[in-house]
Every structure is written in structure tokens, then in C-alpha cells.
Structure 1
Amino acid sequence: MARKVFNSPAYVKPCVVDVAHKLLGADNWVFLDGKAHVDFRKGLNGLFTRRALEIYLPGQEEVYNRYFKDFVQMTKDAGGKAVPFMPAFREIITAVSCRTFVGHYISDEAVKKIANDYYLITEALELVNFPIILPFTKTWYGKKAADMVLAEFAKCAAKSKARMAAGGEPDCIMDAWIAQMIHSKKWRDAQEKGVTIEGLEKPTHVLRDFTDYEISQTVFTFLFASQDATSSAATWLFQIMAQRPEVLDRVREENLQSRNGDIHAPVNMDQLESMTYTRAVVRELLRYRPPVLMVPYVVKKPFPISETYTVPKGAMVIPTTYLALRDPEVYERPDEFDPERYYTGDAEVKGAKNYLVFGTGPHYCLGQQYAQLNLVLMLGKASLLMDWKHHATPQSEEIKVFATIFPMDDCPLSFEDRKW
């Protein structure tokens, strides 16, 4: 049933709370439908190829190296006692996203401000908020935060355009996109003049030139799409690994071998892809604790969703990922965390249609490979550089929803440098 909704663009389109149009911009590409949406996505596909993802790795490792030191220091500052780490995970994910999306065009201070203020954007998108923006309400603070992020990203776009025009090499998503625009313009100009330029091949997708604001708006949607979901996954990942030291030890051993015993060695895409057990852990984590439980769609015209019921136009229909990911006919002991089902088991094949973590159909998540490899990188580096302990409370396994799902107690942890 969920797949039917995801795969029925003729009848439904994704919808969000009314204020989202005011925060993200009513003309944002995420609100496009049909051919306009498909065409826009095609121009973004090149930003998430395997080759592109490898370009972003150094910036991500730089962030993790810095923040993991902060994790240890936070524990020391607390006298070795547990610290609720959910806010810290939201900040580190914001930082790694900003470095991936806009590279070093943005300052550390701006990244920290975005990380702190992103709470306000998430709060503004709660279903119970007023659809109008009134001073000093959640939606008002969220709009101010969103405007700040858009302004920062627009500055980054201007800097990226200048660097790419001067022949710089891309090292972030914004660079890669603008480089495609420059390539497309050279191709269009050559076609208009009827000349052939040696070595200039036709781009896979010929892009128009986007304004700084349009680029900023689009990159902001990447942050919007990734921030809460990846923060949720990271929080559960560290809690569950601390609860299962035997699993963490296997992750640690695999990552140590892939780096030939050097815990500080950077990794490339071949190494990341070779970490089959770590990838199985991430895959299972996303099945066991899927960050996004529900995806609201609005019905564009009467939708015969089953033989006995037609959803009326204008209604909201909400497919859930949770039930498909806990289907006992596909996943043996579905309520248990078991990476073996993706390492030596048949869950990848048997559950191919059930794995709706990133959706399916025309609106599937563009960054699904990026998100999973990013978590593999994060967990692998953390396993080599740190030891950590989960300080369980009666609410540790209770779930709260803050856009996505988190432990009710905000995941109390303590970290220390790993002594090999």
C-alpha cells in the first residue's frame, strides 16, 4: 500500500505543513510536481554519483576529527558523567552537511550558528503550529533562522562561482553543481555559434545558469532533507553500538584492517565500499530505527487506493515506512537489531521492496547513498578514535518525535579517547 502511494505521481504529490512554503520559498524545487520536478532532479543527479561522493570525503573526515575531540572534552568537562548527546549529534551532522554542501566557503562560526538555530526551523515545521507567521512564535523564529541560512548559502554560491570560473577543482556539492553550469554554458555557446571546441563533450544534462539565490535555496533543501533524518540515525547508532559491544568490536576490526592498522588514515570510496559489515550495521540501524516514519501526500484527484476505497481529492494520505520495515514475513525477529540479516542473510534481496527508508518512486531520496556512506564513515572513525558508554535510563528505549525519532532521554553518553 505504501509503495502504491509513493509510485502514484498522477494521483498524489508530497505535502508538508503550510509554513514550509514560507520557510523554504514557495518557488522551491521540492514543491514542483510532474515533469518540472523530474527535469530539475535530473540536473542534480550528477551531484551524488560515486565519483562525486568521493570528492566530498576529505571535508567530512575533517569535521569528524574535530568534533570527536569535542565529544571527549564534553565528557571531561562533565567530570566523566553522562551528557545528553542528541544536541551534539544534531550539531555534528549540521557541520558535516555544511562542509559537504558548501565546503570552506562558510566559516566555522556560521556553521555553529546554523547548527544551533536549526532547532528553530524544525520546531517551526511541527504540525500543530499556526500556518501564519506571528512575531515571537515558533514559525517566526524558524523564518528568521531559515532566512539566515539562505543568506549564508547565497554568499557561498557567489564565492563558488568565482572559484569555479577561475578553474578551481570542485570539493563540495555547490562546486560540482556550478561546474556543471559552466560546462553547460560553454556547450550552449558553442552550439549557438556553430563551432566545435576540442575536448568539450555534451553534458549529460544541459543546465541553465542558476542565480545565487536559487543555488542557495536548493542547497538549503539538501540540508532540510538530511539534517533531522541523519541526526536521528546517528543518535540511535551511537546508543545501539554502546549497548552491543560485540557488534562495535567487529566494526572496529573491519575499519582497522581497511586502513592497514593506521587509525588516523583517511579512507577512499573503495575502502568505504569494502566495509561490508559496517555497512550492514548502518543498513540494519535504518531498518530498526527508521528516522522518517510517515510521509504525507496530498491527493490531486480521486485516488482508487484499493478495490473498496477511493481517496477524495484534497485529502491527505500518509504512507508509513515502519510497518514494511517490521514485516515478519520478510524479516525474521523484526523487533531485534541484527546486522547479520544484511551481512550473511538474505534481507537485501528478500526485503528489496520493503526497504522504504528512502522512499521509492519519483520522489525517492536523492542522497540515499551519500547518507549511508556518511554514517559508515562516521561510525568507522568513531570506533577507531574513541570508546563510549551509554548510561541507560527508563526512557532510553522510548521514542520521541522531533520531526524524526530520537530516544526520549536524548541519549546520555560518555566518551574517552581509545587507548590501543
Structure 2
Amino acid sequence: MGPFLESVDPKFHKYQEKWNSGDLSCVSVFHKFVVIASSRDMARKIFNAPTYVKPCVTDAAHKLLRPTNWVFLDGQAHADYRKGLNGLFTRKALELYLPSLEEVQVKYLETFLDVTERNGGNAVPFMPHFRVLMCAVSCRTFVGKYMPEEMIKKIADNHYQITAALELVNFPIILPFTRTWYGKKCADMVIEEFTKCAAKAKLNMLAGGKAECIMDAWILSMIASEEYRKKVAEGVEIPQKEKPDMLIRWFDDVEISMTVFTFLFASQDASSSACTWLFQLMADRPDILNRVREENLSIRCGDRDKPLTLNMTDNMIYTRAVVKETLRYRPPVIMVPHIAKENFSISEHYTIPKGSMVVPATYPSLHDPDVYPNPETYDPERWITGGAEQQCQNWLVFGTGPHHCIGQNYVILNLVALVRKASMKLKWKHYITPESEDIKLFATIFPRDDCFLTFEKRLE
């Protein structure tokens, strides 16, 4: 793992000290003692040890996401909160969000043509534009039309400040005009706007409005739970089939806002990374892109404008394989910081001290040659005719254990829908530079040159 980190960030060697045992290595970053686990089994052991560790991101995370945020809950409190959110990412729920998701994707794919035209047909770095696209998709999916377009644009333009504030090597306290200070200001702005959206959503849902976004769906679950409790208190006999799938409490507007903010925080950088690599990889492999396009045209009987449904995605076998291989080949999240709550005897040879940062790495397990033959080769076919789909132990793209990514099905659907629409609507060309295949780390991984592309409309 050490050499990989050095290739990602040349500054990394400054922080190495003590020892490197192969599976575990120790570093110091400012005041933190950090233990990095690079093997699959060590990483899984950390992910599945809630008694000893809990996710921490960085010191600034509590200040930006708020200390009372659900992601910092532990044990049963976290499990109970999470159960109430699971229903927001079921197949039924995803079907509900799909029209809005596709509407935003179509809109922003059109802007890619404008960007190319404004630059005289010359290639420009598209990573920043992909970040704006993914932020807009997330905001519309999470809070629907309660947020005006200009505010979505403001959040998309400024969210990078939150990402920068949460880099591991930042100074651990917030001082004026530092990255953490600017990140905190942006986070406060997002939470304030999401709080306004929560108030609007409650009024709409209580008035019988149609649910169109995650916030709507969550509030409807709250209303159903309240109505059920009221009937029980009144002694009304309720058939089992009318009982809510999950009884949850009533959350106030700020609690809703903070929770939805974590969805944005979790999805923004990871989806932006995956999107950037997806467009670059497809451009460099036109045979794969053509196969994606042909599959989708076949499913839609040649109608490029036919609305997407989840039943259609079930038949997009190759498109899904392309997305999963992108996530394996260039996993957006290569490490997930935790904090040791207690001394953690992770092996017979080493005990991680309480208070240490403990970081399970995901990249090595996803590039294990014993599990994924020729791991440095981008090969979607391994998910169809190969054995990749059966390697669940190594599939750590979304973590594992009690804190695994709750929205992983949403993430894959988002990327499948995006590459599907782009393949039918657009042509794009990647302008390779000496840094195109080099990796830079900005919370997640990106091409070091930010991916130079041009786009044109596909007419046939």
C-alpha cells in the first residue's frame, strides 16, 4: 500500500515512520498516530469491529457535519437510526427518484456541448464539470424541487471547499481563512438550505403531495409511523399488512437536513471520481463504449429518448459490468479513516493504541491478482463471464460491516443511467496527456490532469 500512496501523493513519504509490516503500516500526521491496514482481511477486520473502532473521517468532520450527526452515532443508536433510512434506498424508492435523476443528467449532458463550443472545440479539463453534474443530480434526488436552481449551482460551485477542509493533512483546528474555515462556512450554508427544504417538504407531504425525492420519502415514513402510533393509542385494531415496514420517530428539520447533508457528502466526491474515470475510460476504449450504446439501443428498441425504468436496468448487463469494473479498477474511496475507541488487538503481534486513527485500505483488495486476474487491465467482461461477481470478500468499494455505504445501489444506478444516456446522446474524445493515467488524491482519486475532453452531439 505504501508505494501506491506515494504514487498518489508524493508528499506521503514525509509522514511515514516507525515500521511497515506488510499488512499494517504506521504514519504520523500532525498530532495523529495512524495505522493503515492494506490487506483484505485486515481491512475487513477493521470494518467489522464496531466495538473497537468507529468512522471518523478527520478531526474537522465533526465541526462540518455537526457532532450530533447520525454518522457519528455508535452501537445500537447507529443501527436503529440506519434502519429508519434503509427504506430510502430500496428498489421501490429508487424507481421513485429515477425520473428526476434522468432529467438532471440530460440537462447537464447538454452543457458539456456548450463547454466544448465556448472553448472553440478545444479540450478542457472536465473533472470540475463532472463535479457540478453529480452535485446537481444528488441535490435533485435528495431534496427534489424544494431547492431553486441557483442554490444548487451555488452548492455545486462551492462543495469542493468542504472536500478540501476534510483532507487528512489539514491543520486540526479551524482558523480564519484556512481551508477548514472556508469548508465550515460552506457546510453551514448547505445545512441551512437543506433545513429550509425539509420545512417545505413536510408541508407538502402533510398536505397530501406526491413524493418525488428522498426527503419526501423519509417524511412520508415519519407520517405513517405517527399515524400508526396514534391508532394504537386509540385502541384501533390494525391489520398486519397496514403496519409500517419500519416505525421511526419524528425528526426535526435540522436533523433531516444534517442527515441529507451526509448523503451529499458521501456521494459527491465518490460519484465525481467514478464519473470522471468512466468518461475517460470509455473514450479510450471506443469498442466498449459502442457495446454499451448498442445494448441500450436494443433495450429501448432504438428509441434514445425512452424514459429509463429499473426493469430496463435489469437487462443492462454489460452497462452494469462497465460501471462495476470502473469502480474496481479506479475505486473512488481508497481508504476509510476510523478512530480506535479502545486498544485494539488486531493481530497476535500488534495492538492498535486507543485514540489512533485506523485506516482500512480498499485498493489492494480490489487489485488482488489472485481474485481479479490481470487486475491492472480494465476488463468489464470479468463481471459477466469471469468470476468477479462472486468475489464478495474483496468487493470493498462501499465498505462492509455496520457502517457500509447505505446508498450503494443508488450510486450504481446513477452511473448506469449516466453512461447509458451519454452513450446514446453524445460523442466524446479524450486528449491524453502525460498525466492522464497518473492519480491525484482529493478525498477520492482523479486523473492528475483532470481529464481533458471534448464533446459533440451524436446524430445517428
- TM-score normalised by the shorter chain: which range applies? over 0.9
**Structure 2, unaligned stretches of length 5 or more?**
1-41
* CA positional deviation for 1:265: 1.1
Residue in structure 1 matching 2:393, options 337, 340, 353: 353
CA distance in 1, matches of 2:292, 2:376: 22
Letter in 1 for 2:313: L
Task: Report percent identity of matched pairs.
Answer: 63
> What is aligned with 1:49?
90
* CA positional deviation for 1:352: 1.4
> What is aligned with 2:182?
141
Any residues of structure 2 matched to 1:3-14 within 5 Å, and which? Answer: 3-14=44-55
Q: Secondary structure at the match of 1:142?
A: helix
Q: Deviations over 1:293-316 (max 9, x none)?
A: 011111122222112222122222
CA distance in 2, matches of 1:13, 1:140: 25
| 8 A contact 2:56–2:338 mirrored in 1 | yes
> What is aligned with 1:190?
231
Q: Are 1:364 and 2:404 counterparts?
A: yes
Q: Deviations over 1:326-357 (max 9, x none)?
A: 111111101100000002211111x2110100
* CA positional deviation for 1:73: 1.0
**Structure 1, unaligned stretches of length 5 or more?**
none
CA distance in 1, matches of 2:175, 2:54: 28
Letter in 1 for 2:105: Y
Residue in structure 2 matching 1:389, options 416, 429, 432: 429
> What is aligned with 2:288?
247
Residue in structure 2 matching 1:261, options 281, 302, 312: 302
> What is aligned with 1:82?
123
* CA positional deviation for 1:199: 9.3
RMSD: 1.1
Any residues of structure 2 matched to 1:75-224 within 5 Å, and which? Answer: 75-196=116-237, 201-224=242-265
Structure 1 length-normalised TM: 0.98
> What is aligned with 1:375?
415
Letter in 1 for 2:404: Y
CA distance in 2, matches of 1:205, 1:384: 40
CA distance in 2, matches of 1:200, 1:281: 40
Q: Secondary structure at the match of 2:255?
A: helix
* CA positional deviation for 1:42: 0.1
Q: Deviations over 1:70-123 (max 9, x none)?
A: 001110111110011000000000000001000111111010000001011111
CA distance in 1, matches of 2:147, 2:86: 24
Q: Secondary structure at the match of 1:305?
A: strand
Q: Are 1:302 and 2:326 counterparts?
A: no
| 8 A contact 1:187–1:200 mirrored in 2 | no
Residue in structure 1 matching 2:378, options 333, 337, 341: 337
Structure 2 length-normalised TM: 0.90
Q: Are 1:228 and 2:255 counterparts?
A: no
Q: Secondary structure at the match of 1:318?
A: strand
Greater strand proportion: 2
* CA positional deviation for 1:196: 3.4
CA distance in 2, matches of 1:162, 1:261: 42
Query: Mean alpha-carbon deviation: is it higher for 315-324 or for 226-235?
Result: 315-324
CA distance in 2, matches of 1:71, 1:56: 23
Q: Secondary structure at the match of 1:413?
A: strand
> What is aligned with 1:32?
73
Q: Secondary structure at the match of 1:317?
A: strand
* Alignment coverage as a number of residue pairs: 419
* CA positional deviation for 1:128: 2.2
